[in-house]
Amino acid sequence: MRALSFCLLCCLSLLYLSNAVAVQEVRVGGYHFPPYLDKPESPHPQGLVPDLLRALNAVQQQYRFVLVPTSATRRYRDLEGGRFDLMFFESSHWGWQSTHHLALRLDIEDAEVYVAAAEPGRGQDYFADLSNKRMALYHGYHYGFAAFDADPDYLARTYNAVLTYSHDSNLRMLLARRVDIAVVTRSYLELFLDRHPELQRGLLISERQDQVYHHQVLLRPRATLAPTDVAGLLDQLHASGELSRLLGRYRLALGDKASVQ
């Protein structure tokens, strides 16, 4: 009887070890990019990316997705150097031209819009010419009006830009008339106005978009997952309705499905 119990215990231990070895870790890079990711270095990062990783871990047992903090400027060499395997909600146009990567196109869109302080007589034509405006921009971001050149010296010199690490700070500077125009992620702006509805009347929001985000997942070649693997996992979340629920929480919407580019 004692031998049988020992044999059973060994079998269970081997089964547990086999399952543990089978789980592959997928490292997901992320930098401060609200509302997609807020404070990735903190013990409890917030935003769509951490919520999505929790959902991906819950829907299957083959992979364990973990967040690896990076920065807007360091992310290129971190991906190429193998510090992480992939990034969600990226774009090949955002400085990735010289970095080897694979891309998975997501049918999820967002945009950046121009915001000015509301003034009597000021309308949409205020956004037609940016050359004489003092701009509040997010450090490390790539903007359509600047041909996606994120060099801070170039932006400060050419567009009289003030660069910060906070959309909130940029909007507050705008309301204080310290800058003329802020460029803000549309989903973030909607959430900001949900929190501060009293500020809505003080802002003029452009109908013109600086850029539309055609979101992608960017992957390191020879990473743990291929683009088709990620697409399959996202399709599972889409089919269950979980992906739409997560996106709605951050003022985003899903099209037909994720697809490989």
pLDDT tens readout for residues 168-184: 999 999 999 999 999 99
Report the pLDDT value the prediction gives residue 46, as an integer from 0 to 100.
95
Domains along the sequence of the chain with CATH: 24-109+214-260 (3.40.190.10), 110-212 (3.40.190.10)
- Asked if 128 and 206 count as a contact pair (C-beta separation under 8 A), the reply is no
Between 258 and 95, where is the model more confident?
95
Residues with Cβ within 8 Å of residue 50, at least 6 apart in sequence? 37, 67
* CA end-to-end distance (rounded Å), the chain: 59
Degrees to nearest 5, angle at CA 207 with 187 and 180: 85
Given pLDDT bands bounded at 50, 70 and 90, which one contains residue 3?
low
pLDDT tens readout for residues 112-167: 999 999 999 999 999 999 988 999 999 989 999 999 999 999 999 999 999 999 99
- Asked if 162 and 135 count as a contact pair (C-beta separation under 8 A), the reply is yes
CA dihedral 84, 86, 89, 90 (to 10 degrees): 90
What are residue 216's DSSP bridge partners? 90, 105
User: What does the buried/exposed string (b/e) look like for 225-254 if buried means 16 or more CB atoms within 10 Å of the residue's CB?
Assistant: bebebbbebbeebbeeebbeebbeebbbeb
> Residue 146: left (phi > 0), alpha (psi -120 to 50), or beta?
alpha
**For residue 201, what are its two tokens?**
């009347």
Give percent of the chain with pLDDT exceeding 90.
80
Distance CA 68, CA 140 (A): 18
Distance CA 253, CA 261 (A): 20
Which amino acid type is present at position 132? N
Angle between helices 48-59 and 227-240 (to 10 degrees): 90
Report the pLDDT value the prediction gives residue 261, as an integer from 0 to 100.
45
pLDDT tens readout for residues 47-92: 999 999 999 999 999 999 999 999 998 999 999 999 999 999 999 9
